[in-house]
A and B are shown apart, each in its own frame.
Chain A
Amino acid sequence: MAMTEPEILAGLGKIINEITGIPATEVTPEKSFVDDLDIDSLSMVEIAVAAQDEFGVEIPDDQLKNLKTVKDVVNFIQS
């Protein structure tokens, strides 16, 4: 059963808040992880590890580097 975008956003917001302290409300689709949310590469790996557990998906390293925005992650999880 595919999750809806708001469900994924809520889950991602919680993960990103837990890892970086950024308020979950700031985790909106158009935000870039590096440019807007100031998330470094190690934190991005932490987020990916948590997202894999939360959403039950595998995010291979060669895919991870293409996930530039929150929307990219939402699309990846939905695909």
Chain B
Amino acid sequence: MAAVRSVRDVMGMPITVDVRDKDAEERVLEEVFADLMLVDQIFSPFIPASETSRIDRGELQPDDAGPLMQQVLKLCRLYEIATDGYFSAWIAGRLDPSGLVKGWAIERASSILDGYGYRHYFVEAAGDIRTRHPVGTGGPWRIGIRHPVERNKVARVVLANDLAVATSGTYEKGAHVRDPHTGRQVREWLSFTVIGSEIVKADVYATAALAMGQRGVEFIEALPCFEAYAIDPQLRATWTSGFSALSDSGEGASG
């Protein structure tokens, strides 16, 4: 089988592209990573010449930015409304669209692979994942939800067939996530995983729901086609009604 897989550091994070189609070619992976690097050049707040940095310094007006930035800013505005402001690309007056760009870049990578007719792959960027279909009788992709303390272990396993899985956590940097409305540090969840049909939404909703605190799970519950699994500092998990159907029934509680 000519499956191809590559893990590279792009956008300041490890990104995995794993394609299992028999006709998969390395050059397609090169195209995918080239696109990810292009995205990084435009959006990285750590690259002084990026459009994000130039907008942040006041050198570039958002309306004068390139088409990709326009697209991302428009999405940021839409999701800011959809999440009641719990997701925002503007933190304390400074532009940082990276909360949306990661999922958006994964979606672009997925579109490139789709364009080549590949059907059996996943793309992962720093813990956010877009899967297509598993191979043959191999069963669905098994995606572990990282245990927030024992980080080489998982708390649950999601069975993903053509799904997106995104996790936001406070444990990665300490409790640095804040409620944008109150400025209060979010301490309710160590990690918040959202599973759904679209990676951009899953990623943004995971970020927003984490910042919402206790009612974050209800927020996801009210969204059609999205499920959540959230872990609190007491190492207890709370999940939405459809989560169990997506998780490995051999482990933990099933419902």
Partners in one complex: no
| A residues with CB within 8 A of B | none
| B residues with CB within 8 A of A | none
